Amino acid sequence: MTGTLDFGYFLNHNNWGNTKPFHQVAEEGREIARHCDTHGWDSIWTTEHHFGHEGLEVCPNPILMATDLAAHTERIRIGQAANIITFRHPLQVAEDLAMLDHLSGGRLEVGVGRGLYPRESVNMNPTADVRNADVNRALFAETLDIIRTAWAEEFFSYDGEFYTFPMPGLTFPHAMSPPLPQNTDPETGEITALSLVPRPLQQPHPPLWQVVDTEPSIRGSAASGLNAMFWIPPTDALVPRFEMYRDAASEAQGRDVPLGEGCAVLRDLFVTDTMAEAERLAGDGIVRYLEWVCHFRGLGNHRFPGEELPATDNKLDLLSYDFLHPRNLLFGTPEFIIEKIEEMQDKLGLQKLLVWSSFPGTDHAAAMNSITGFSEAVMPYFAAGSQQARAADLSERQEAPSHV
């Protein structure tokens, strides 16, 4: 056991089969947020996906959804996992996030991503087509650089491969906006810089996170000063990824960054009184969701280190609850889940854990019971002082003389 943990909830809105009106889906998300806000959770995170007529992943605007959650909560931090910044105009993203930081009272966490599904990327921004990884990565890097530049400088300009700000040759002759040396060429009157209004409340900017998976993303996030968020791989397979991030962050920062610093893990969670009950209530939901995701990813990320999966006719033939559970599911009793979290602490130096229970097709009341069970039966174990007290008590009992 290696210290306390921050716990976050991954609010991936689902409406499998389109059985609910969207306002009900949103209200169920608010119920989860209000619970987390009043039960000691550190953060809640919204998602971004588009065109999901199937009913999976039905939140197209994480900033707008996060604004709503901020209005219904008081203390919990509000994040996005993630804003797909390649889909949007960088200055619009920068403005919207800066506004949300103020509207939430400085509770904003900013997650950024490059996109996953071609159906989304091609139609949101053809340049962001995920099938062209090199261009997509370059667009992502430039977009993020623009956002950070606009946040950091009172007056800024940018000349990149995809964007140039301000537009060359533009003038703004207006008596109420006299030219300043910081933003106007005194000879031509041409605008030379822009000013973002507002800039973030948190300075120099809110915490930044990137959802990562591949080696270039892991090393790139560390080198760029971004925190890293991981999801699927089993704990043992995450160890070299965490070490990769630590080494790149140490080089970038010029110090020895501890293992686990700047990293978070997302895990699929369902807390019940028995192991069988977790599978009965949510097993089909998590398998259904991973059938969707792994259609693109395959099952390679689920492997233990050195494991070779047997050959099958189709790439998802092995996918089942029994395949998933020992690899990365926090499904079962509080005792089982505590043990798995402790393993992540011991092997990864884990400091931040995100979980979710609202899988497609899973009953909302059952998901709320799981979340409540986690709040009441798991989180207190990792509260400040709890682990140390348990360790001291165990040591005393081991050293006490036997009366048998």
Using CA atoms, how far apart are residues 223 and 319, in angstroms rounded to an integer? 35
Look at residue 341 and tell me whether its pLDDT is greater than 60: yes
Span 219-239, mean pLDDT? 97
Q: Residue 87: which residues within 8 A CB-CB, separation 6 or more?
A: 48, 50, 115, 120, 121, 124, 125, 128
Give the model's confidence band at 145: pLDDT under 50 very low, under 70 low, under 90 confident, else very high.
very high
pLDDT of residue 265: 98
Look at residue 282 and tell me whether its pLDDT is greater than 50: yes
Q: For the whole model, what pTM was predicted? A: 0.93
Residue 221 in any domain: the answer is yes
pLDDT of residue 296: 85
Q: Residue 320: which residues within 8 A CB-CB, separation 6 or more?
A: 287
Residue 193 in any domain: the answer is no
Residue 401 in any domain: the answer is no
At 38, is the secondary structure helix, strand, or coil? Answer: helix
Residue 296 in any domain: the answer is no
Dihedral, 364, 365, 370, 374 alpha carbons, nearest 10: 110
Residue 187 in any domain: the answer is no
- For residues 78 and 69, is the Cβ–Cβ distance under 8 A? yes
- For residues 345 and 2, is the Cβ–Cβ distance under 8 A? yes
Look at residue 389 and tell me whether its pLDDT is greater than 60: no
Task: Say which DSSP state 374 is in.
Answer: I
- For residues 268 and 232, is the Cβ–Cβ distance under 8 A? no
Using CA atoms, how far apart are residues 156 and 280, in angstroms rounded to an integer? 55
pLDDT of residue 2: 52
Q: Is the dihedral of CA 153, 207, 82, 302 positive or negative?
A: positive
pLDDT in tens, 16-66: 999 999 999 999 999 999 999 999 999 999 999 999 999 999 999 999 999
Q: Closest by alpha carbon to 146, among 205, 207, 190?
A: 205
pLDDT of residue 284: 97
Residue 51 in any domain: the answer is yes
Which residue matches tokens 């233990």? 304
> What's the half-sphere exposure (Cβ side, CA atoms, 13 Å) at 201?
13
* Structural domain count of the chain: 1
* Mean of all residue pLDDT scores within the chain: 94
Run of H or E including 335: helix 334-348
Domain enclosing residue 51, as ranges: 6-151+199-287+331-387
Burial (CB < 10 A; 0-12, 13-18, 19+), residue 252, is middle
Strand-strand pairing, 227-230 and 263-271: parallel
For the chain, the residue count is 404
Span 143-171, mean pLDDT? 97
User: How far apart are the two ends of the chain, measured CA to CA in Å?
Assistant: 31
Which residue matches tokens 């340049």? 127
Rounded to an integer, what is the distance from CA 41 to the centroid of its chain?
15
Give the model's confidence band at 397: pLDDT under 50 very low, under 70 low, under 90 confident, else very high.
very low
Measured in degrees and rounded to the nearest 5, phi and psi for residue 158 equal: -155, 135
Give the model's confidence band at 404: pLDDT under 50 very low, under 70 low, under 90 confident, else very high.
very low
Span 378-385, mean pLDDT? 88
Residue 299 in any domain: the answer is no
Percent of all residues in the chain with a pLDDT value above 70, rounded to a whole number:
94
Look at residue 77 and tell me whether its pLDDT is greater than 90: yes
Q: Closest by alpha carbon to 147, among 69, 204, 65?
A: 204
Q: Closest by alpha carbon to 116, among 361, 256, 342, 295?
A: 295
pLDDT of residue 297: 85
- For residues 91 and 165, is the Cβ–Cβ distance under 8 A? yes
Task: Say which DSSP state 311 is in.
Answer: P
Dihedral, 138, 143, 148, 150 alpha carbons, nearest 10: 140
Using CA atoms, how far apart are residues 59 and 71, in angstroms rounded to an integer? 17
Give the model's confidence band at 385: pLDDT under 50 very low, under 70 low, under 90 confident, else very high.
low
Q: Of 1-10, 345-354, 391-400, which one has max mean pLDDT?
A: 345-354
Look at residue 1 and tell me whether its pLDDT is greater than 70: no
E-strand stretches of 11-146: 43-46, 77-80, 83-84, 110-113
E-strand stretches of 38-141: 43-46, 77-80, 83-84, 110-113
CATH number at residue 99: 3.20.20.30
Look at residue 393 and tell me whether its pLDDT is greater than 60: no
Which residue matches tokens 């996170």? 209
DSSP bridge partners of 83: 112
Using CA atoms, how far apart are residues 57 and 13, in angstroms rounded to an integer? 6
Q: Closest by alpha carbon to 45, among 107, 114, 130?
A: 107
Q: Closest by alpha carbon to 282, among 209, 359, 374?
A: 359
Residue 297 in any domain: the answer is no
